[in-house]
Amino acid sequence: MSHAGGDVPDGHASGATTESVGASKESQYDIVKATQYGVLERCRQLIDDGYDVNRRDNIDVTLLHWAAINNRMPLASYYIGLGAEVDARGGDLASTPLHWAVRQGHLSMVVLLIRHRADPTIRDVEGFACIHVAAQCGYTNIVAYLRAVTGGAGATAPDDSGMPALMWSAYKTTGMDPTRLLLTFGASTCLQDQTYGNTALHWAVTARNVSAVQTLLRAGADTSVRNKQGATAHDIAQRHQVQWMGREWLTSLEQPGQSRRNVCKRFTSNAKVQYWAEMSLPLLVFYAVGQIFALEMDVLVKLGCLVGVYIVCHFYGQALFNKDFMETLPMAIYLATKIWFYITWVVWLQPYVGASTTLAFLACSSLLWWAFVRCWRGDPGHMTSSLTDKCKTIVSLSETEGFNMAQFCSTCLIRRPVRSKHCSVCNRCVAKFDHHCPWVNNCVGAGNHKYFVYYLLFLAGMCVFFLYGCSVFYQRACAVAISEQGFWNAVSTMATCETWVFWNALNALVHAVWVSALFCCQMYQVAWLAMTTNERINAARYKHFASAEAAGRRRSPFDRGPLQNAVDFFGCRCWGVCKPSPPDWRAVYRLEEASPPATGLVAAAAQV
């Protein structure tokens, strides 16, 4: 298969001749070499002496071609100002200067040529427009710019063999950025090329491009499409070594009719039915495990029952649920545990603990639900914009700041603010990203981070209240006394006196320990380190943390002192003593915008 390869001369030495030539050819040789090396004064001198700016050299290309391929911006502007033909076609591929600039990845030259009305839709001999070349080479920034400035059919049209940019990206580019960007712009995954009838998914599998396969499958690519040989993408994968892909993704390539699970999944095709089935499974499993522990049977029999529960749950999940079930499972476990805590409190504990303790338990639980809902349903800091605004952002970045891909999200098509990150689970960018929390099935970011800390605090408090209620219950209902019986004898008595309460207490103890530890870790990061979880883990990847360390800073560049950090985080305001002034993390793109001075008595305390 042909592709935009090395037919275009590369760099300085290409096209230069060493033969003895006449005076005219010598001047041509001089100006070509001067253009390749960017010697503006020499080029100006030769043109003033009468050299035609549109004259072709011995390989039928113009001076603008040479300026474009070597990214000689001043020379390109000079030649265009003298009337150089912007869309001149030349060389073995009959390509334009814009083609040459794209193939070398020179975004600034691409911007200059398009500003001077270069046509990116012109096809070379192989039938490639500029966006096809950029997709083949994996230049995400150029693909984004060409798509933004042209739009419509001009950017999404296939080449002469019927392959659009998405197919070339899936076939030639190992990184996922160009593929994700084109999909976000609305590239179709169903188109088939004219030669082989392949879709983008076929090409990704043929090239063993794992990242492209995963990206296309997540975008909903149809796995049942057959090419002209009657093969699906799954058939192509089976013909090759499939270890490179992994069992999960190979299974995802199966056609709906081939999957054994779909017979069962027809009964849960309704999204609401499947969701509530997934949420109810941990509720039933929690009850089943508690009842197995309460059985008066041999330990080995109980162990066999637990194994049986696991086997049933495994095949139940495999048959009815999709792979997204693992994303909702932690939250389902959390809700199931809390529901059984409530039932256990009402049925077993409440008669022994009294009304005041029950009211305190319910008050803490109410605050927990408030914080949970704000984390679960609240906006963590998602950044949204219209397609028009996204295109404007891409053009602005390309024309003014050189389009640093580290500051651009190829999926959301937005400029990334400082401290933001694209969440692979939610598939959205989140301002001041901390982490994706499976226990609330949402990201934790600028919009809900403080509610997540409240959630941890109140969850730990609820578990402590529950453990207190269990201790009162065992003291009064089972006459358990650790001081008299000893610790292990007391534990044995609790487990045999009322196994269900003991099972719930054990869960409450585990939750209380890890939630309290996570709460302390979060407060340490928020107040003392002035970091998010993501920043603490990936600090070495962020230049601003490396710069702060080199400058002798003890903490992150966002640190304003522990007190002011806490005040900004929680939004505390108290009679002029506490004055929160956190920046809007959705709109902070430079480090200097992120650190306003601390105020009030908090500033004085921070200095001390």
* Residues recognised as catalytic: 437
Asked if 509 and 469 touch (Cβ cutoff 8 Å), the reply is no
Helices 40-48, 73-81: axis angle to 10 degrees equals 20
Q: Which of 263, 271, 373 is nearest to 324 (CA)?
A: 271
H or E element: which one contains 127?
Answer: none
Q: How far apart are CA 444 and CA 384, in angstroms?
A: 17
Asked if 213 and 181 touch (Cβ cutoff 8 Å), the reply is no
For 594, the token pair is 């992120």
Q: How far apart are CA 321 and CA 275, in angstroms?
A: 9
Question: At 153, which amino acid appears?
Answer: A
Dihedral angle sign, alpha carbons of residues 328, 329, 333, 339: positive
The 8-class DSSP code of residue 525 comes to: I
For 495, the token pair is 């487990």
- The phi, psi pair for 522, rounded to 5°, reads -65, -45
Q: State the alpha helices, DSSP H only, in 40-96.
A: 40-48, 63-69, 73-81
For 414, the token pair is 């937005």
Q: State the alpha helices, DSSP H only, in 173-297.
A: 177-184, 200-206, 210-218, 233-239, 247-252, 262-265, 271-294
Q: How far apart are CA 319 and CA 496, in angstroms?
A: 37
Cβ neighbour number for residue 173 with a 10 Å cutoff: 24
Dihedral angle sign, alpha carbons of residues 263, 266, 272, 276: negative
Task: Please report where in the chains the tokens 């009679």 appear, as a residue.
Answer: 575
Q: Which of 228, 149, 211, 143 is nearest to 174 (CA)?
A: 211
